[in-house]
A and B are shown apart, each in its own frame.
Chain A
Amino acid sequence: MRLNEKALIRKSILELCNTGLPRQESTDDGIRTIRERGSEKEENLWEYIVALGAQLSRPPFDPYREKIKLTTEIGRKGDQKVSLKIPILIYGELDLSQSSKDALTLALNNLVDDRSTVGLISKDEPCDERKYPHFQKLTDINKIDDSEGIVLEYTGIKTEEKIEKIRKEFDGPVLVEVDEDFSFYTAKLLELGVDGILVNTDNITKSEKYDGKHAIAVIHDAKLAINEFYRGKENDGACLVIAGDVNNAGKMVKAAGLGADIIGYDTSLLIAKVGHHSENFFDEEITAQKIFNHMIATKSELTGIPAAIGYSDFHNLSPSDFRTSSIKASVQGDIPLEGVDKTYRIIVEEILDNYLNIKNISVDQQEKQKIINLIVQEGT
């Protein structure tokens, strides 16, 4: 073989090794060779090289080096969705000073420039210079501003009437902040065209209904309420926003695993975390930079766990990725128990099935579920 032919082959192989993909066109079509293994048939050398390249899995595969997708869309309608690059909505009711608000606006705009968009939920009118998506916390139904989305607090049957009215004049995503009775009315809200529910676990775990239960029970039940609406059909994008006691990356990942699509990050907490400053010597740019840095660090932390598990998308986390040593947590969050890798409910069901089988007792599915519920409640 001539030297230039050898060089061409070497170049082709190196290209395949680097990219894992063959070139679309052969540049060495002229080079043909007699294949080994005694075949007398002349074959295209290029195809032989492509075949060898196709035998390589993409070499740099390593979960820690893969990009993890955090992008989330809010909205069930195709053309009015709001896209977040980090699944976070800054949310809270703190009366911030004007300088804090300005620092927040600057930080959020910088995050958009960095392709790390997060959204903001606020009662204030949206800032004119904003680049980030703003969700108006609606207090007066007659004063809908030009925000990208709306957040409405559930206050009973009147909220449903308000939603019907809003839906007539506003096409963007509408989220409803729910109370502890969400399981009764979430389906109705989704039927009226709401795009998701916002659940503040701090408020709800203080209610009588959730007395003694953890935030994981609230998240689990909220996801279940949305799923119930979609039983028998595909979810068209209704989302679950979890706010409250989700103030670090570990808790955010846990919330996502239990079904949260977006995290409501408390504004006051954010300012407190980054704003070690005195209002008298407040430096807007420094605070904005601190907020920006904190969000970028959170973004990085949010990718770590899904990457280690082998996911390329943050939203693929599910309860089966976690383990708990507490029967209570297993029941409340449907999380498998350590060591056995099964939820407490499944273990109870297996034991019951075995017992019914041995005793030759026949019970229908509904009856069986009642027995399981009783045993499970007893266990917690």
Chain B
Amino acid sequence: MCGICGLMMDDGNLRHFPVGSILQDMMESQQIRAQDGAGIAIFNKSNAGDSFKIKNFRKEGMSDYTIDEVDSSSENISENLEKLSQDPECHFFSFENQMTILKETGLAKDLDKKFGIRKMNGSHGIGHLRIATSSRVTPYNTHPFSTTILPDIAIVHNGEITNYNMLRDSLELEGFTFHTDSDSEVIAVFLASRILKHGDIERAHREFVAKADGPFTYIAATSDSIAIVRDKFGTRKGIIGYNPGTNDHPPFWAMATDLSALDVVGATTKIETPHPGKPRIFYRN
């Protein structure tokens, strides 16, 4: 029973809108759903450039870790990814350009205390509250999940991908790498593999829904889109709302598992629920 949320500004050129603060409110309002871990991915155009960041968990003793950041350019990115994958003390965290991922075990408010989520700005973002079901409570298995295939892909997920093993096997056969034991990671890897193949994000979501089995709703973000997708039977819920804006803030779309998350940020107009199996995508203008 995880909790997921996401939001997209109507005006994607905004770089200083407090996405972190809104996501934090949405996560805290759904905290009752899950308490094992919390995480966010926030996208900001100001970060765009030739520099990429590869983040890794680096082991410190038996149970502690630090987050290790390796700055890379397009020339040495493959070499750096390869080098880090060979390091037994490193565990992949995220691959970022415009995106910033932060995640930790524990509650949403602890995540904010540690990383200052409320101060983060951007155009869109996603958040997750985790209750561990199929894999252990570790920072590695906390959402959002990213990939080493392409930068700036993040997913958060509520539910279960029952044919995870099969999907993972076929993606590994195609040559794509996994970094965790979580069934949710297969969504990120699948989407990245299809974007790499045909570059069409909507088609990638449709292909995933056609292949994936089990009850799930996920929210996936790229540098210019955010999508909420439910399984073909609609067995996990999801809700979308619009905040028309005020003098203090511009309008935005919000989506979440629970209605409470939309209520708390005033996204209570144009309410809709995504149709089962049909991705509902919002693009950055």
Contacts and interface: CB of A to CB of B under 8 A. Distances in A.
A58 B259 CA distance: 16
A52 B259 contact: yes
Interface in A77-128: none
Interface in A197-242: 227, 230-235
B135 interface: no
Interface in B93-151: none
B174 A20 contact: no
A61 B259 contact: no
Contacts of B259: 51-52, 54-55
Given A57-B236, A227-B173, A312-B213, A318 B271 contact: no
B241 A233 contact: no
Most buried by A among B166, B214, B232, B272: B166
A318 B237 contact: no
Contact of A47 (B175, B197, B270): B270
Interface residues of B, number: 34
B269 A47 contact: yes
Contacts of B262: 51
A53 interface: yes
B58 interface: no
B268 interface: yes
Interface residues of A, number: 35
B73 interface: no
Interface in A48-86: 48, 50-58, 61, 66
Contacts of A61: 215, 233, 235
B271 A234 contact: no
A316 interface: yes
A51 B268 contact: yes
Q: Is the interface of A mostly helix, strand, loop or mixed?
A: loop
B234 interface: yes
A316 B276 CA distance: 20
Interface in A1-48: 20-22, 43-44, 47-48
B78 interface: no
B237 A51 contact: no
B271 A47 contact: yes
A253 B215 CA distance: 22
B166 A58 contact: no
Contacts of B165: 318, 320-321
B162 A309 contact: yes
Interface of A: 20-22, 43-44, 47-48, 50-58, 61, 66, 227, 230-235, 309-313, 316-318, 320-321
14 contacts: A21-B275, A22-B273, A50-B271, A51-B259, A54-B273, A57-B236, A58-B233, A58-B234, A230-B173, A309-B162, A316-B162, A316-B213, A318-B169, A320-B165
